[in-house]
A and B are shown apart, each in its own frame.
Chain A
Amino acid sequence: MAEGVRARVKAPATAAAGESVTIKTLISHPMESGQRKDGDGNPIPRAIINRFTCVFNGETVVDVMLEPAISTNPYFEFEATIPEAGDMVFTWYDDDGSVYEETKSIAIG
C-alpha cells in the first residue's frame, strides 16, 4: 500500500428521487508513471491507481481505467442518478494490489 493514501469524496447527503447529482472524488496518490529514473539512473517502477469505480446500490455509475498519464492525486468529477436512498461506494484499485474504499449514504429528501 502506497504511503499516506487518503480519499476524499464530495456527494450530496440528500437528493430528490431520480435526480442527477454531481460527484467529485480525489485520492492522494503519487501515480508513479514508470517513465522516470532515480538518481542512479535506474528506472522507477510504475505504481499507479489503475481503476476507479463508483457504484450505487449495486448499479454502476462510472468505471474508469486509469493509465500513467493521469495526474498525481487523481481527481474525477461526474454525474450520478439517484433513483432511491442508498449507499454510494467508491473504490480505487492500486497497482500494488491495495484497494481503497469510501462509502457515502444518500437519502431521498
Chain B
Amino acid sequence: MRQAWLGIVVGVAFAGAATADEFAKLVVNGEIEMVTRTQAPDHMEAIDEIRSGWTFRTGETQTLQMDDFDNPGMVFVEQAVEAWAVAEGGMGKSCADCHGDVADGMKGVRAVYPKWNETAGEVRTLEMQINDCRTTRMGADEWSYAGDPMTNMVALVSSVSRGMPVNVANDGPASETWALGKEIYYTRYGQLELSCANCHEENYDNYIRADHLSQGQINGFPTYRLKNAKLNSVHSRFKGCIRDTRAHTFSPGSPEFVALELYVATRGNGLSVEGPSVRN
C-alpha cells in the first residue's frame, strides 16, 4: 500500500522537465577535475553507481559551480578566510596560529570527516572539531552548529580539499555510530512515512512533483542553494528533508544527525569533495 502510494506521487513526473546533462564533466576553474560518477562502495547494496548531486541539476545550475567567481558560495568562503586569521577568546589565538595557511593545514581534512576521535571517544563532524578548537584551544565561545560563521568556515575547510576523493571510515570504533546512521537512513519518519532511502535510493532520478530527486550525496556540502542564496550545512539539509516528511526533526549537531552524516558520507566514498557546491 505504501509502495503504491509513493509510486503515484513519484510517477507524476514533471512534464517537460529540463534534462540535466548528467554526463557532463565537472571541472572547476579549468583545473580541479571532479569525480561525479563512480562505482558505489561495497557496503551499498541497492545502488551500483554513485552520483554527485551536480549530475542531477540543469545546465545553468551546473555552470555556476564550474568557476569560483560564478559560484556565489565563494563569497562566504572569503568571509571565512578573514575569520581564519582573527584571534579570538582568552588565549588570543586564531585558527592560523596553530594550523598555518588553510590551504596547507587543512588539505585533505574534509575528505575523511566525520571521523572517530580517540581522545574524546566519539565520532566528530568538522563542526564539532571546529567548536572543540574554539573552546579548548582558543578559549572562545562555541559557534552555533549550523549558523553562518560555522558553515562558512566548514566551506573554507572543504574548499581546499576539492577534487580529493571522499574517504570516510565506517569500520573500527566508528562502526557503532555508522550502524545508527544506517538505521536512521532506512527509518520512515513523519506523517508521510518517508525514509531517506525512499526518495534518494529507490527513486533518485525520478521526479517528486517538480523536484528532480538526487541520491542525497553530501560530498558537495556546504552547498550554496539558489533557493535561499546562502551556504547550507549538511545538518540543515537533513533537517529540511525530515521536516518535509512532516516529522519532528532532530537538531543540527544532535547525535542522530552526526550518525546520519557519518553514514551518508560513506555512501559517497569515491566521489570528489566539491564543497562549496551550487544546488537549486
Interface residues of A (CB under 8 A from B): 4, 6, 8, 10, 24, 26, 28, 71-73, 75
Contact = CB atoms under 8 A, between A and B. Distances in A.
Nearest to B224: A73
Contact of B75 (A10, A24, A28, A71): A28
Interface of B: 69-70, 72, 74-76, 78-79, 229
Nearest to A4: B79
Given A4-B79, A6-B78, A6-B79, A73 B229 contact: yes
A26 B229 contact: no
Contacts of A10: 69
Chain B contact residues, majority secondary structure: helix
Contacts, number: 24
B75 A6 contact: yes
A8 B70 contact: no
A95 B74 CA distance: 25
Contacts of A24: 69-70
Contacts of B229: 71-73
Given A6-B79, A8-B75, A73-B75, 11 more contacts: A4-B79, A6-B78, A8-B74, A8-B78, A26-B69, A26-B75, A28-B75, A72-B229, A73-B72, A73-B229, A75-B70
What 7 A-B pairs come out closest when comparing CB atoms? A72-B229, A10-B69, A28-B75, A73-B72, A24-B69, A6-B75, A73-B229
Contacts of A72: 229
A22 to B, nearest CB: 10
Nearest to A75: B72
